[in-house]
Amino acid sequence: MQTNSEKHQATRRVTLLSVAVNCILGVAKIIVGWLVGSAALVADGVHSFSDLVTDGFVLAASHYGHQGPDHDHHYGHGRIETLATLFLGSVLIFVAGAIVWSSTERLISAAEIPPPGYWAILLTVLALLAKEWLFHLTRRVAQRIGSKMLEANAWHHRSDVFSTGVVLIALLGSQFGATWIDTLAAVIVGLLVGKVGWDLLWESGRELVDTALPVAQQEAMRDVALGVPGVEGIHDLRTRQSAGRTMLDLHVVVSPRISVSEGHEIGNEVSRRLRQSFPALTDLTFHVDPEDDAGEGDPSQLPGLPLRPEVEAALAERWAGLPEWHWLLDLELHYLEGAVTVVACIDEDSPLESQSTARRLAEAAADLDWFSHVEIRRLAPVPQ
């Protein structure tokens, strides 16, 4: 997967090329349109110069949007690119409306368009081909780097192809005396451009409200995670998208009796396999669970169990007078099924019998509402 810097450089190169093409076309259209007296060609030249505004916006959004996380933006600046896509989608809708409005107005007013001449028509054909080439080049780069903003700008180039096509039809029509042809074409073109703009607004809006990935892709992610040895279940899998990047949160269920470090390494392997299988995945957070607690709600809103200091104090109060107390080396605590299981680690050289010791310790702690039961483990004393 390409780095943010590589994506920015690819976006910058193709957009600067767009700036150069728009400058050349804008100057040529305005000069030729002025010389032949074609208001449509002059207007199309001004339209080409207006494209420089969106190109500049893409350059700025790419520069800031591909910057990494900082102290104010812990998840990076990808939303800037999403906002830019919203802007470009809005521009496409505005362009579509302007095409339909101006053509309809021309039809109602029955404005006479003087014959432009074949040089103006030739320039318009060249401009149309140049913008179509720019559309395909920009869209190819956008798909390669996964940039919806750059793809939006590509479709903006395609809208220029449509608008230039309308101008070409108008020029041909006026050249041969049929000035009404461009109106019908303009309405159809305007609707097509407006549809593209709406699609961009819709997709960007879904990103801004953290819309999840398609269900099939979420299930594929779940299957990859479940394929990791040691994973007993996956729940609370959540996804969202930003500027072609995907973020994922999930809970990984492992055996309750493994070590913390083993559980964490199982989670790391889940992360590695998911990132390998889904290159667009740039941010992944996993939570290791010793049991499946899906559907239990926010744990901060549930009654909590006592932590080690409180547990040790309560057990010391009840066990200190028992003969087993002298042989205790350590306590292991397991928080399972809403209670605390205590593993009493005793000196392996002690004369205590495990079952009777566990029973006496459990009876002494039976009044504790959070207490589940006692298990005995024999350990060699740690050398002092």
State the sign of the Cα–Cα–Cα–Cα dihedral 161, 167, 171, 174.
positive
Q: Do residues 32 and 78 share a domain?
A: yes
Does residue 55 register a pLDDT over 80? no
In the structure encoding, which two tokens stand for residue 20, read together?
A: 């150069």
Q: Do residues 107 and 70 share a domain?
A: yes
Q: Do residues 265 and 172 share a domain?
A: no
Q: Do residues 127 and 226 share a domain?
A: no
pLDDT tens, position by position, 159-176: 778 777 777 877 777 667
Who contacts 358 (Cβ-Cβ below 8 Å, separation ≥6)?
A: 344, 373, 374, 375, 376
Of 176, 208, 240, at which residue does a domain stop?
A: 208
Q: Do residues 9 and 157 share a domain?
A: yes
Q: Do residues 171 and 314 share a domain?
A: no
Q: Do residues 158 and 107 share a domain?
A: yes
How far apart (Å, rounded) are the C-alpha atoms in residues 124 and 170?
11
Give first-to-last CA distance, the chain, whole Å. 53
Domain that holds residue 271: 215-294
CATH of the domain at 22: 1.20.1510.10
Q: Do residues 137 and 167 share a domain?
A: yes
Q: In this predicted structure, what is the pLDDT of residue 271?
A: 94
pLDDT tens, position by position, 113-131: 556 667 778 888 898 898 8
* pLDDT, average across residues 12-38: 80
Where is average pLDDT lowest: 24-33, 132-141, 191-200, 208-217?
A: 191-200
> To which residue do tokens 């432009």 refer?
116
How many domains does the chain contain in total?
A: 3
How far apart (Å, rounded) are the C-alpha atoms in residues 228 and 251?
14
Share of the chain above pLDDT 70, in %: 70
- Burial environment of residue 11 by CB neighbours within 10 A (0 to 12, 13 to 18, 19 or more): buried
* Within-domain flag for 300: no
How far apart (Å, rounded) are the C-alpha atoms in residues 270 and 231?
9
Q: Do residues 245 and 268 share a domain?
A: yes
* Within-domain flag for 238: yes
* Within-domain flag for 302: no
What does each C-alpha distance from 312 to 140, 295, 328, 344 come to in angstroms? 64, 31, 12, 11
Which of 269, 219, 221, 216 shows the shortest CA–CA distance to 248? 221
Who contacts 66 (Cβ-Cβ below 8 Å, separation ≥6)?
A: 4, 5, 7, 8, 11, 77, 81
How far apart (Å, rounded) are the C-alpha atoms in residues 206 and 67?
22
